[in-house]
Chains A and B, each alone.
Chain A
Amino acid sequence: MIRGLILFTESLMRYSYLQQAMLAAVLVGITCGIIGCFILLRNLSLMGEAISHAVLPGVVISYLLGVSFFIGAMLTGLLTALGIGYISENSKLDDDAAIGILFTSAFALGIVMITAVGGTGINLWNILFGNVLAVSKNDLGLTAAANLVALSGLLVIHRELIISTFDPVMAKTVGIPTKRVSYTLMILLSMVIVASLQTVGIILVVAMLITPSATAFLLTNRLRWMLLVSVVIGALASIIGVYLSFIYDVATGGSIVLVVSIMFAIAFIINKYLTGDSGIQ
């Protein structure tokens, strides 16, 4: 254990790829931890799932056009989010069903495109499960920029977001454009998801959105504490996850998510059996 820690610290000092991986993972942990709180409180976990899967065809299209994967991924992610809203508003289907239909369609399209293009430089495994050790300086810059934009966006609309989540009818009576607020949240969510692709990948990114915020939700009673605890959990799990994946040579995304899941399990047990009720006042 101690030896592993020393080895890891030495390598972290020496190798820039490891530094970049660590930074990217922590950034993703922080941003997902924050936006995840709002996603959880608005019951949008499935929406996160949908956007992340719908990113796949966008990555392939970007590759074909020779542009950054960010652009294509954002685009198909957002289109799917809008499509879900459109279907559930214009039919008797719930969000739930609309999400199930659209994200599987988009994902299937992505898979078919990848196999059709064939022999490309696209590594399906990396997109699905992330490969944080392959994060370049360029990627890190892009990730940082996307996260910064998302966090600033959240800061600007946080009051509207909180009120319209808590009491949408009252929000409208005080003049908050609740539809515009929720579309803005979708855009920011898509950015965060795309920025997380290299770290945890399409399949696992929802865990970074929901598990830290759900853990924080169990432990706290005030939004500011919930945000803080969620960020700490997201960042800490990223650090521990990268460490474990380096030492034991296992997939980084999976390792980060497992750490987060263990933290949730501990919080759940504490919440259920140890405290009489509900957390930090």
Chain B
Amino acid sequence: MTSTSSNHAVRVENLSVSYGNVVAVKNASFSVNHGTLTGIMGPNGAGKSTLIKAMMGLVRFQRGNIRLLSAHPSQLDGTCIAYVPQQNHINLHFPVTVGDVVMMGRYSYMQRLRPPRARDREAVKASLKKVRMHDKKDRQIGQLSGGERQRVFLARALAQQAELFFLDEPFSDIDFASEKVIISLLRELAGGGKTIFVIHHNLDKVFEYFESLLLINGEMIAFGKTQCVFTPENLARTYRDSHMVLAHDDDAAVIPK
């Protein structure tokens, strides 16, 4: 292992992922240091979710190489990766409470046939307090607003005490207060050396939220520091099929066609 590779929390080389004949991700290469908050952007069906699933070792990829924490994704134990799912992939009628959901994050720390221990309960409580949802810990998961629910899933990720965080569109359809709680926690995590990937849809907060940015539309379009990547030309290439990009000096607006 060379010293340069171990500095990177995540390294992806020439990654291509297909489902049958559908190529979802083509030729993605990038490396991310510890403590980086990276945004992933692209139109619907661009392969964003597929890219993070491949990074987490959940979908098989045809070509390329992925290293997480200098290891192959499948060699990591259950405590390394925390994942926050895309909202509409959750059954809202499932009979679990907010507290139950966050306790799922403690799975890798619990022993079979043993109830949660004090440190598990404390981790759940602390995580819920951080996202300001502790007072609603006994609510059924469907009886929350979209933003509250997203905060609960972030709390579950916090309770995992992971190194790498993957969030699939955490800011879609949520209230402004929840968005602020979530982004400030993500910044705090990154400040503490955690590496975070966030799939993002909204173009106006990009500079404010992410220090590094990855643009994808099947093919990886660009990756790097946000100010270098978030340019009208790159956006035009990323959203060419679905949106119009209006550029004016340093400002760009992307409008659905």
Contact call B95/A220, Cβ cutoff below 8 A: yes
Contact call B140/A173, Cβ cutoff below 8 A: no
Contact call A167/B85, Cβ cutoff below 8 A: yes
Contact call A166/B89, Cβ cutoff below 8 A: no
A137 at the B interface (CB under 8 A): no
A156 at the B interface (CB under 8 A): yes
Contact call A174/B160, Cβ cutoff below 8 A: yes
Taking a contact as CB atoms closer than 8 A, the residue among A170, A217, A278 that contacts B104 in the complex is A170
Contact call A222/B89, Cβ cutoff below 8 A: no
Between A174, A220, A223, A281, the greatest number of chain B beta carbons within 10 A of the residue's beta carbon is seen for A174
Taking a contact as CB atoms closer than 8 A, the residue among B79, B83, B96, B97 that contacts A169 in the complex is B83
A224 to B110, CA, bound (A): 19
* Residues from chain B with Cβ under 8 Å of A220 in the complex: 95
B40 at the A interface (CB under 8 A): no
Contact residues of B between 42 and 96, Cβ < 8 Å to A = 53, 56-58, 77-79, 81-83, 85, 89-91, 93-96
A278 to B97, CA, bound (A): 13
Contact call B108/A174, Cβ cutoff below 8 A: yes
Contact call A221/B95, Cβ cutoff below 8 A: yes
Contact call A223/B96, Cβ cutoff below 8 A: yes
Contact call A167/B90, Cβ cutoff below 8 A: yes
Tally of A-B residue pairs with Cβ under 8 A?
75
Taking a contact as CB atoms closer than 8 A, the residue among B96, B113, B160 that contacts A155 in the complex is B113
A172 at the B interface (CB under 8 A): yes
Bitwise interface map of B from 125 to 155 toward A, beta carbon under 8 Å scored 1, else 0: 0000000000000101001000000000000
A174 to B104, CA, bound (A): 9
A165 to B91, CA, bound (A): 9
* Residues from chain B with Cβ under 8 Å of A179 in the complex: none
* Residues from chain A with Cβ under 8 Å of B104 in the complex: 162-163, 166-167, 170
Contact residues of A between 6 and 55, Cβ < 8 Å to B = 41
The interface size bin for chain B is 20 to 34
A174 to B77, CA, bound (A): 7
A272 at the B interface (CB under 8 A): no
* Residues from chain A with Cβ under 8 Å of B56 in the complex: 172-173
* Residues from chain B with Cβ under 8 Å of A119 in the complex: none
What is the distance, in angstroms, from A244's C-beta to the closest C-beta of chain B?
31
What is the distance, in angstroms, from A184's C-beta to the closest C-beta of chain B?
13
B30 at the A interface (CB under 8 A): no
Known: A174-B160, A222-B97, A223-B100. A159 touches B107 (CB 8 A): yes
Contact call A156/B112, Cβ cutoff below 8 A: yes
A162 to B97, CA, bound (A): 13
Q: Describe A's contact surface by its main secondary structure.
A: helix
* Residues from chain B with Cβ under 8 Å of A41 in the complex: 91, 94-95
Known: A175-B78, A222-B97. A166 touches B140 (CB 8 A): no
Contact call A222/B94, Cβ cutoff below 8 A: no
Contact call B110/A159, Cβ cutoff below 8 A: yes
A175 to B79, CA, bound (A): 9
Contact call B95/A172, Cβ cutoff below 8 A: no
A202 at the B interface (CB under 8 A): no
Contact call A226/B113, Cβ cutoff below 8 A: no
Contact call B100/A170, Cβ cutoff below 8 A: no
Contact residues of A between 119 and 176, Cβ < 8 Å to B = 155-156, 159, 162-163, 165-167, 169-170, 172-176
Chain A: CB-nearest residue to B109: A174
Taking a contact as CB atoms closer than 8 A, the residue among B78, B91, B94 that contacts A174 in the complex is B78
* Residues from chain B with Cβ under 8 Å of A173 in the complex: 56, 58, 78, 81-83, 166
Known: A155-B113, A166-B91, A166-B94. A172 touches B58 (CB 8 A): yes
Known: A41-B94, A175-B77, A221-B95. A169 touches B108 (CB 8 A): no
Taking a contact as CB atoms closer than 8 A, the residue among A155, A165, A174, A221 that contacts B140 in the complex is A221
A175 to B58, CA, bound (A): 10
Q: Given A173-B56, A173-B78, A174-B78, output 15 extra A-B contacts at Cβ < 8 Å.
A: A163-B104, A165-B94, A173-B166, A174-B79, A174-B107, A174-B160, A175-B78, A217-B95, A220-B95, A221-B95, A221-B140, A222-B96, A223-B95, A226-B95, A278-B143
User: Which 7 pairs of residues, A with B, have the shortest CB-CB distance?
Assistant: A175-B78, A174-B78, A221-B140, A173-B83, A173-B81, A223-B95, A174-B107
Q: Using CB atoms and an 8 Å cutoff, list the residues of chain B in contact with chain A.
A: 53, 56-58, 77-79, 81-83, 85, 89-91, 93-97, 100-101, 104-105, 107-108, 110, 112-113, 138, 140, 143, 156, 160, 166
Provide 22 A-B residue pairs closer than 8 Å at the C-beta atoms, listed in order of the A residue: A41-B94, A162-B96, A163-B104, A166-B96, A169-B58, A169-B85, A169-B89, A172-B57, A173-B56, A173-B81, A173-B82, A173-B83, A174-B79, A174-B81, A174-B108, A175-B77, A221-B95, A221-B140, A222-B140, A223-B95, A223-B96, A278-B140
